[in-house]
Structure 1
Amino acid sequence: MSHGHTHTPACSPDCNHSHHHGTKHIYIYSPSSAVRDKAAFRRGVARLKALGHEVEIDEAALSSHMRFAGDDATRLAAIERATASGANVALISRGGYGLTRIVGDLPFKKIAKAIERGTQFVGLSDFTALQMAVLAKTGAVTWGGPALGEDFGAEVPDDIMEACFDDLLVGHGEGSGWRLPVSDAKATPRKDGEAAPVFRLRGATLWGGNLNVICALVGTPYLPQVKGGILFLEDANEHPYRIERQLTQLLNAGIIGQQKAVLMGSFNRFKLVPGYDRGFKLQTVIDWMRTRTKTPVFTGLPFGHVPTKVLLPVGRKVDLMVEGRDALIYWG
């Protein structure tokens, strides 16, 4: 899977190492919405065990209070148990909603200490709130990546997602490559004499996650003040006009203008209204955004509410290289 010769995302420039590197301890907990799909939860646990891992399930993982996986105190206690678990990975059961409610009460010191001791916190979607707050308050690195039910609990878990997760577990994760859509190649400025447009960034902080959640943190102490970074964004179930409205907020707040690049992951699971949108679609939003900022905007990042997702180190310094339609984020 060498970079530049593949149309599928690569977890690292060299994915040739074998994927059986001993048992890892994975702690499953539910900091957000209640688990409704118990079958997917069970399939996810079985899948991780089949991959050879020791899976520990938090005592409140299947709790339910209104739409939440237990009341606020229950979910905070679950996060504390995850920090004390000594696991290699603390993996969320699912996203949904619930972390912005308790973001100010998170045990920041304990989370940072756990990360220092080698527990990687992995998740996406609503988990963005914890990731942003931890980065803002402690500078600790977490991972944008899979959730138990949606990813490991799929009828057929995605190979690339599993390989990227394995790379993280064995410490081989060095980067992610992907192929940009044709529309991006046209948008990348080309210097005279270049065979293909080339864009290079070194040592920029990678941060971001769910667009809705990031917008909900603007103006609070829980959004990191990253300057000269690489902001990645994804969302699901949002109409393009709502995505545009939220991007407008980040533009007008000066956040996008302070970045060296913006990476757009997957924006999916929405319905356009025939006859009403009149050609207003997601690409319209991207094209418009590019007219509003000098910050380069790249799309097609394999991340979001999609089966094929790479793992991204949130808060880590990374290099970004784009050559023609080949993009590579590298932190090795």
Structure 2
Amino acid sequence: MTIKRRQFLTACGLAAIASQTPLVAAQGKLYPNTILKPPRLQIGDTVGLIAPAGIIEPKDIETAKEELLKLGLKVKVGAHILDRYGYLAGKDSDRADDINYMFSDHSVKAIIAMRGGWGCNRILPLLNYSLIRSHPKIIMGYSDITSLLLAINARTRMITFHGPVATSTWNQFTVDYFKRILFNAEAVTMQNLTGEVAVETIAPGKARGKLVGGNLSVLAAMVGSPDLPSWNKSILFVEEIGEDVYRVDRMLTQLKNAGILNQIAGFIFGQCTNCRLGDEPSFTLKQVLQDHILPLKIPAWYGSMIGHMKDKFTMPIGIEVEMNADIGTIQMLEASVKK
């Protein structure tokens, strides 16, 4: 990034600080108090593509462009999207600069991560949260992108979106929720496809609260940092891939010991894709979930279409929802973008 570009981003941040947004104390820090909804997407809008985590191939960008063009969207790629630094898509400062610049660029109306992998936690201290707060726009992804979504929501109170990355399978199910929530500004009820994925009730009932969550291992790795939102009476959703069940147990135990699970009003486990029992004697995943969640005496269910699967919901982080553990639904109580 050029010096002028860095100076521009810094100036944008200072201008936002000067606006004196009301603040609230959370996680030992002062954060904005007002929930902020980004503007909705419209046909012809430009989407910024970023690579904040794992390495990207040129063919991935071309495929992503084709899929987004089908949705009537234009595409702008980050300056460092094809960089390589070990197993990361460029140096930390450059990956963070691409995010900051996409928020400052008035031609870009939404930001979508190319893929997950690993690396987003490393760049959280380098993001310009004041600039992001002053230039609200949709940012979306899942897996390792959980770090960005939770940190931006916590530090700016802007609604972020746990949904497909640019290299996801943009099938009818995924696109339908993406368009209804982000284009049409609908308050939808998310429900599994009939016969596609079975809903397993852990504890029956309904609960209302702020929707918060993402990838379990990424979330667990953020515990103790200033980059997590408030958990008080929230609806926590998590998903995972490729982890032995004992590791899921370990991560849920960390959330429990950190006092997170005791604060939530409801719990949803999406998919645990390719999760195994391992070589040693093991609990089943169902037993682990029951051990941790049943004592909380809150509604909970397993099997939501969230995470590493072809058909996936777009989950607005920070919006009020009502979950129904008996039938496995997540009902948005308000739109997550401005009309």
Normalising by the smaller structure, the TM-score range is 0.7 to 0.9
Partner of 1:56: 76
Is the CA contact (8 Å cut-off) linking 2:235 and 2:268 kept in structure 1?
yes
Give, in angstroms, the shift of residue 263 of structure 1. Answer: 0.9
Partner of 1:164: 177
Change in Cα spacing, 1:83 to 1:297, as seen in structure 2 (3 Å) is same
Structure 1 Cα separation of the partners of residues 185 and 70 of structure 2:
21
> What are structure 2's unaligned runs of at least 5 residues?
1-40, 335-339
Is the CA contact (8 Å cut-off) linking 1:60 and 1:70 kept in structure 2?
yes
Change in Cα spacing, 1:144 to 1:170, as seen in structure 2 (3 Å) is same
Structure 2 Cα separation of the partners of residues 207 and 139 of structure 1:
12
Quote the RMSD (CA, aligned, Å): 2.1
Task: Give the TM-score taking structure 2 as reference length.
Answer: 0.79
Structure 2 Cα separation of the partners of residues 201 and 281 of structure 1:
26
Change in Cα spacing, 1:281 to 1:200, as seen in structure 2 (3 Å) is closer
Partner of 1:331: 333
Query: Is 1:35 matched up with 2:78?
Result: no
Structure 1 Cα separation of the partners of residues 310 and 284 of structure 2:
23
Structure 1 Cα separation of the partners of residues 206 and 299 of structure 2:
11
Percent of pairs identical after alignment?
27
Structure 2 Cα separation of the partners of residues 170 and 306 of structure 1:
23
Aligned letter for 1:305? H
Q: Name which of structure 1's ranges 132-141 and 92-101 shifts more when overlaid on structure 2.
A: 132-141
Structure 2 Cα separation of the partners of residues 260 and 43 of structure 1:
40
Counterparts of 1:91-240 in structure 2, within 5 Å, are 91-115=112-136, 119-149=137-167, 151=168, 154=169, 157-179=170-192, 181=198, 183-184=200-201, 187-189=202-204, 199-202=205-208, 204-240=209-245
SS of the aligned residue for 2:307 comes to coil
Is the CA contact (8 Å cut-off) linking 1:24 and 1:169 kept in structure 2?
no
Structure 2 Cα separation of the partners of residues 130 and 211 of structure 1:
14
Q: Aligned residues, how many?
A: 289
Partner of 1:254: 259
Change in Cα spacing, 1:321 to 1:281, as seen in structure 2 (3 Å) is closer
Structure 1 Cα separation of the partners of residues 328 and 228 of structure 2:
30
Give, in angstroms, the shift of residue 182 of structure 1. Answer: 5.5
Is the CA contact (8 Å cut-off) linking 1:25 and 1:55 kept in structure 2?
yes
Q: 1:85 aligns with which of 102, 105, 124?
A: 105
Structure 1 Cα separation of the partners of residues 239 and 145 of structure 2:
12
Query: Is 1:316 matched up with 2:319?
Result: yes
Give, in angstroms, the shift of residue 267 of structure 1. Answer: 1.1
**1:223-249, CA deviations, whole angstroms, 9 ceiling, x for partnerless residues?**
222201111111112111101110011
Give, in angstroms, the shift of residue 315 of structure 1. Answer: 1.3
Structure 2 Cα separation of the partners of residues 288 and 158 of structure 1:
36
Task: Give the TM-score taking structure 1 as reference length.
Answer: 0.81
